[in-house]
Amino acid sequence: MTTAHYPSPLQFAYWVPNVSGGLVVSKIPQRTQWDALYNRRLAQIAEHAGFDYALTQIRFTAGYGAENQHESVTFSQDLLAATEKLKVIAALLPGPWNPALAAKQIATISHLSDARIAVNIVSGWFRGEFKAIGEPWLDHEERYLRSEEFIRCLRGIWQKEQFTFAGDFYRFRNYSLKPKPLHPQPEIFQGGSSRAARDMAARVSDWYFTNGNSVEGVSQQIEDIQVKSRQNDRSVKIGMNAFVIARDSEQQAQQVLQEIIDHADVEAVKGFQHETQNAGLASPEKEGNWAKSSFDDLVQYNDGFKPKLIGTPQQIAERIIDYKRVGVDLLLLGFLHCQEEVEFFGREIIPRVRVLEQQLISELRA
Ligand SMILES: Cc1cc2nc3c(=O)[nH]c(=O)nc-3n(C[C@H](O)[C@H](O)[C@H](O)COP(=O)(O)O)c2cc1C
């Protein structure tokens, strides 16, 4: 990465628990809840704690510890109405959503929220879910071709007075959306880790969201995206998932991790493992999300234990800076007891990260 990226402070997002069961596939007692009241309060805590974004999830069916799932766009609007500065990222799944409906919904929410809405385009990993709702299941490369057209259509509809498009999946003729979203336009994130995901990010997305990974692992992905996006005369920002366990001592934090894994919902994790191995190996290069995830890794939905943000506040802040050094712009965080731990993260960890960021900048200037 270039040193030009360093001065921007790292940004923080949290996973909205809009599906039941929290963010781990474990029967460990959790105080996290999935209802609207809990989530409104969590969003308010997060914006006071210094979080920039909240990410809602989209799932259409139960599976693997998430028996109930609130819809992402509606839920995002509710959180925006309950907050003042937090940006909320709504997940959209091409297939159930088409770009005409999505562009219209998000433009209206942009007006309702003073431009605080963003979107995360997800491409589908759960074949059973598509089957259950009668959506055709495309192969991996086709899913990404469709997502790319979806993103091109969103941008075209939001930016052009009259939008015309003739693609393999979507067609528009002189379509004029009014009102357009407010400025700045909704940011476009995308989730996924395969080569197709990286290529799509380099061509059309503002942000690349990926599963938790080692510093070396994510650094390789970032280099690949940077080379490809420069070839397209673009730049793409990087967000990575991580699960945080901050306690007074490293030993206490490790013990909590062990308890989460010891209480794993074995049947649900095995089901998830079966499905995600199919998904992880679905791309031609066999390197999508979860391609190399062990049973323990999958106790957190998006490989959140891999970055090892587990220890004391100072250890976690230092580890976060290791990710900033290789070009991560945003950390998407999950917690066991969301309200309490988001508040703690803002009070004890973000200030330490800011001090270390200043040291990093001074180091580079020296
Ligand atoms: C941060 C992040 C968030 C995601 N959120 C969702 C989601 O809400 N709903 C969903 O169906 N898939 C979600 N996904 C899955 C991806 O969109 C994608 O379908 C999956 O990673 C397989 O693609 P890949 O082979 O490129 O990794 C998410 C992935 C990531 C990394």
What is the pLDDT averaged over residues 301-319?
97
Which residue from 23, 53, 123 has its CB within 8 A of the most atoms of ligand 1, so it is best to mutate? 123
User: What DSSP designation does 304 have?
Assistant: T
pLDDT score at 282: 67
Q: Does pLDDT of 6 surpass 70?
A: no
The radius of gyration computed from the CA coordinates of the chain, to the nearest angstrom, equals: 20
pLDDT score at 5: 57
With tokens 């997940």, the residue in question is 91
Give the closest residue (by CA) to ligand 1 atom 28. Answer: 191
pLDDT tens sequence across 175-205: 999 999 999 999 999 999 999 999 999 999 9
pLDDT tens sequence across 69-90: 999 999 999 999 999 999 999 9
pLDDT score at 322: 97
pLDDT tens sequence across 129-153: 999 999 999 999 999 999 999 999 9
Give the closest residue (by CA) to ligand 1 atom 30. Answer: 191
Q: Residue 330: what residue type?
A: L
> In angstroms, what is the span from residue 122 Cα to ligand 1's centroid?
5
b/e string for 17-47 if b means 16 or more Cβ within 10 A?
A: bbbbbbbbbbebebebbbeeeebeebbbbbb
Q: Are 170 and 153 in contact (CB under 8 A)?
A: yes
pLDDT tens sequence across 208-259: 999 999 999 999 999 999 999 999 999 999 999 999 999 999 999 999 999 9
pLDDT score at 280: 62
With tokens 């596939």, the residue in question is 25
**CA nearest to 302, candidates 338, 331, 344, 259:** 331
> In angstroms, what is the span from residue 355 Cα to ligand 1's centroid?
33
